[in-house]
A and B are shown apart, each in its own frame.
Chain A
Amino acid sequence: MPPSLMNAIHAEHLSKTFRDFWRRPRVDAVRSISFDVPAGQIFGLLGPNGSGKSTTIKMILGLLFPTAGSIEVLGASPRSTAVKRRIGYLPEESYLYPHLTPLETLTFYARLFRLPPDTARTRIDQLLDMTGLSHARHRPVGGFSKGMARRIGLAQALLNDPDLVILDEPTAGLDPQGTRQVKDLILALVARGKTILLTSHLLADVEDVCHQVAILFNGRLLAQGTLDSLLTLKDKTTLTFPTPPDPVTLQRLLESVRAALGADPELDHPRQALEPYFLQIVRDAARRQSSDLSGAAPHPPLAPFLRQRDGGTDAAPAR
């Protein structure tokens, strides 16, 4: 099978130079990068501001044209409208028409995908429920908070049930519940065989969901691979066991490790991550007060059309 069919995105020596009015080179935004995004995986594109992430995404979407190199998306040119039918894109800023309501916004995008009216109506209702915006469906989006605008942006990105989802800073502006919801959604989409390309400054979010990452700096690709291959410290081993009832037992254990390895082991108590701890506290408080959380519920239902596999069964998150 040719590489382009196994990979959702195949970029080879991709470069982009922006030029000034006189066609003189102004900035080299991307410099000869090559990477593959395997189909059915979550791929993170990381890097500080100005590293070339957004430029790369815009080349993948056919909005910018490479100065050199080539790029294939789902086996075809990124400018092909047939390919774009299979892509969902959440831009870094939620590009919305301020006077339209969420319902009008999603109806507009449904028309761009030529969805049949019944399908469009069902999906729009489900996506508004999923993003917690049903109550605001008739309010102009110009008055929305950044978090709400992200939610409507996310809804439009999923409207066509895409095979490839490109998420530019998907959790920016979201509260912890919204962030968890987006991460769960990403995992559920991948469980259905979708491919996700995401960029984020929030490295903990990337670490939570991504299979592979590529790190860009100053337009160059500095590192690329699976999280395990990049982050695992092969020369260290962690052993977790229940805290011994008395210090003498612990001392005896440490002595035996020291004697066996000839090195001092590090002793520490494992810590739970802040996100699940925070979410648990908020959920408990909300349950006690029966109060409505702003935005989405802690565990909002995934839109049914996104849950169903092609055969019609529900898919569970992969991780």
Chain B
Amino acid sequence: MTRAAPFLAIARLAAIEAIRRPVFLLVSLSSLAGILLLPLLLHYTLGDSARIIRDSALAFHFLGGMLLGTHAAAEGFSRELRRGTAAAILSKPVSRAGFFLARAAGIAAALVLFSLAALAATLLAVRAGASDLRLDWTAELPGLLALLAAPALAGAWNHRTRRPFASAAFFLLLGLLLLAVAASACFSTPLDRLAFPHNFAWEILAVGFLLTLCLAMAAALAAALATRLDPSPVLLLCAVVFLAGIAADSFLGPHLSGSALARTAYAVLPNVQAFWLVDALDAGAAIPGAYFLTATAYAAAWSAAVLAAGAASFHRLEIA
């Protein structure tokens, strides 16, 4: 067995444990329902429906992912300590840093799965509501059916096998949404008769990828803070740090040239604006590959620094 086997086993379990929490399904269902219902709820958009749906869907994605990532990282870690499973695992040949990083990787994997589902729902919703004149049911209907069928099928499976409902419902939801995109791709859009691959706004995926990086940064911060704090203060601190990150350009930008303190704060705070590139889509500009690389490197470096601090903190934590 490879040296990575313990890391992968812990990461996989952390991801599954996160997805098995009812709150994960609840937040996922709420966010995805919010995205998929947008085309049905929006009226009188003056030709701007596609943009409004896309921006709102990405906002649902961001808020839902932020809540899921920080909650799963903080509450999951605290539960491992409380329930004693952390002690049981650390009495095996597993280093503390390995345990901490594997758990963080597991939460990131769960977030990626949520992001996949949210992006599938966003593609369907944007296509369904692209026209003010007519709803595209070939996109809306498969999405709504996936949303309804997943919990129903998971309920039946739970009744039959007694296996966890929440994770089954989430995985079914993800699978059915991807299937819905594939099914919908077989149909042309109703008004302008665009066929695959032009019947979907695929450029949303690029923005979604950057958004997912930002969510992973939030989860990394929550995991690091959870080594010393209870879940509630962790969620509060994450919210404060990322709100400050969103506003950093506005309130720190003017002082960057004159103040070392401002420059330090600007470097430490997560630059959320760098990951919200919806405006670039509005301008019709393609996001350059170099930007993706820079943003990915920034997210990786920021997360690595935060996780290193978390691992150092966990290394000295006493597990009573």
User: Known: A58-B320, A97-B13. Is A89-B1 also a contact (CB below 8 A)?
Assistant: no
CA A212 to CA B95, docked complex, whole Å: 32
Give complex CA distance A263, B92 in Å.
59
The answer for the CA separation of A257 and B87 in the assembled complex, in Å, is 59
**How far is it, in angstroms, between the C-alpha of A136 and the C-alpha of B310 when the chains are bound?**
39
Q: Is B91's CB under 8 angstroms from A61's CB?
A: yes
**A63–B85 CB distance below 8 A:** no
- In A95-154, the 8 Å CB interface with B consists of 95-97, 99-100, 108-109, 111-117, 139-140
Between A and B, 13 residue pairs with Cβ closer than 8 Å are A18-B320, A63-B320, A64-B320, A84-B92, A84-B93, A85-B93, A89-B88, A91-B88, A96-B88, A99-B164, A99-B167, A108-B9, A108-B13
Within 8 Å CB of A18, what residues of B?
320
Is A87 interfacial (CB-CB < 8 Å)? yes
B residues less than 8 Å from A58 (CB atoms): 87, 319-320
Which B residues are CB-close (under 8 A) to A114? Answer: 1-3, 5-6, 93
Q: Is B237 interfacial (CB-CB < 8 Å)?
A: no
Asked if A87 contacts B91 (CB within 8 A), the reply is: yes
Check B17 for interface membership: any CB of A closer than 8 A.
yes
Q: Looking at A100, A111, A114, which has the most chain B CB atoms within 10 Å of its CB?
A: A111
Any chain A CB within 8 A of the CB of B160? no
Known: A63-B318, A85-B93. A95 touches B163 (CB 8 A): no
Instruction: Output the nearest chain B residue to A60 by Cβ-Cβ distance.
Output: B91
* Size class of the contact patch on chain A: 20 to 34
* Distance in angstroms between the alpha carbons of A31 and B240 in the assembled complex: 43
Contact A91 B84 (CB under 8 A): yes
Within the complex, the shortest CB–CB distance from A55 to chain B, in Å, comes to 8
Q: Return B84 CB to nearest CB of chain A, in Å.
A: 4
Chain B residues whose CB sits within 8 angstroms of the CB of A156 once the complex forms: 88
> Do A93 and B163 have beta carbons less than 8 Å apart?
no
Contact with B163, one of A82, A89, A117, A140 (Cβ below 8 angstroms): A140
A interface footprint on B156-168 (CB within 8 Å = 1, 0 otherwise)? 0000001110010
Q: Does B90 contact A (CB under 8 A)?
A: yes
**CB–CB A82/B93 < 8 A:** yes
Residue from the set B17, B84, B88 with the largest chain A CB neighbour count within 10 Å: B88
Most buried by A among B5, B162, B163: B5
Question: Is A232 located at the chain interface by the 8 A CB criterion?
Answer: no
Contact present for B1 and A117 (CB under 8 Å): yes
Q: Does any Cβ of B come within 8 Å of A81's Cβ?
A: yes
Report Cα–Cα, A100/B9, bound state, in Å: 13
Contact residues, B10-42 vs A (CB, 8 A): 10, 13, 16-17, 20
Nearest-neighbor residue (CB-CB) of B4 within chain A? A114
Q: If A58-B320, A64-B320 touch, does A113 touch B85 (CB 8 Å cutoff)?
A: no
Instruction: Check if A35 is an interface residue, CB within 8 A of chain B.
Output: no
B83 at the interface (CB under 8 A from A): yes
Task: List the A residue with the shortest CB-CB distance to B16.
Answer: A99
Q: Which 8 A-B pairs have the closest CB atoms?
A: A95-B84, A111-B9, A95-B88, A89-B91, A63-B319, A81-B93, A85-B93, A112-B92
B1 to A111, Cβ gap below 8 A? yes
Q: For residue B166, which residue of chain A has the nearest CB?
A: A99
Task: Please report the C-alpha to C-alpha distance between residue A140 and residue B8 in the assembled complex, in whole angstroms.
Answer: 21
Q: Check A217 for interface membership: any CB of B closer than 8 A.
A: no
* A65 adjacent to chain B (CB < 8 Å): yes
Q: How far is the CB of B113 from chain A (nearest CB, A)?
A: 17
- Of the candidates B6, B17, B85, the one whose C-beta lies within 8 Å of that of A95 is B85
Q: Which chain A residues have a beta carbon within 8 Å of chain B's beta carbons?
A: 18, 55, 58, 61-65, 81-82, 84-85, 87, 89, 91, 93, 95-97, 99-100, 108-109, 111-117, 139-140, 156, 160
CB-defined contacts of A115 to chain B, threshold 8 Å: 1
Closest chain A CB from B87 CB (angstroms): 5
Q: Does B280 reach chain A (CB closer than 8 Å)?
A: no
Q: Residue B319 contacts which of A64, A99, A117 (CB distance < 8 angstroms)?
A: A64
If A85-B93, A114-B3, A114-B6 touch, whether A96 touches B13 (CB-CB below 8 Å) is: no
User: Quick check: is B89 within 8 A (CB to CB) of the other chain?
Assistant: yes
Flag if A116 contacts B84 (CB, 8 Å). no
Bound: A117/B9 CA distance, A:
13
Other A-B contacts than A62-B91, A111-B5, A112-B92, 5 sampled, CB-CB below 8 A, are A63-B90, A63-B319, A64-B320, A112-B6, A112-B89
Cβ–Cβ < 8 Å partners of B186 in chain A = none
Interface pair A81/B91, CB less than 8 Å apart: no
Q: How far is the CB of B162 from chain A (nearest CB, A)?
A: 7
| A117 neighbours in B (Cβ, 8 Å) | 1
Cα A58 to Cα B86 with chains together (Å): 12
When distances are taken between beta carbons in the complex, the residues of chain B under 8 Å from A96 are 85, 88
- On whether A81 and B319 interact (CB within 8 A), knowing A111-B5, A112-B9, the answer reads no
Of B1, B17, B318, which is within 8 A of A65 by CB? B318
CB distance from B277 to the nearest CB of A (A): 38
Q: Does B318 lie within 8 Å of A111, measured CB to CB?
A: no
Shortest CB distance B75–A (Å): 15
Q: Write the nearest CB–CB distance from A146 to chain B, whole angstroms.
A: 14
Residue of B nearest to A108 (CB): B9
Q: How far is the CB of A76 from chain B (nearest CB, A)?
A: 12
Closest beta carbon of chain A to B4's beta carbon, Å: 9
B94 at the binding interface (Cβ < 8 Å): yes
Q: Which residue of A lies closest to B164 (CB)?
A: A99
Interface pair A81/B95, CB less than 8 Å apart: yes
| Contact in complex: B87, A113 (CB < 8 Å) | no
**Do A99 and B20 contact each other (CB < 8 Å), given the known contacts A64-B319, A65-B318, A91-B88?**
yes
Given contacts A64-B319, A99-B20, A112 and B93 within 8 Å (CB-CB): yes
Contacts of A89 in B (CB 8 A): 88, 91
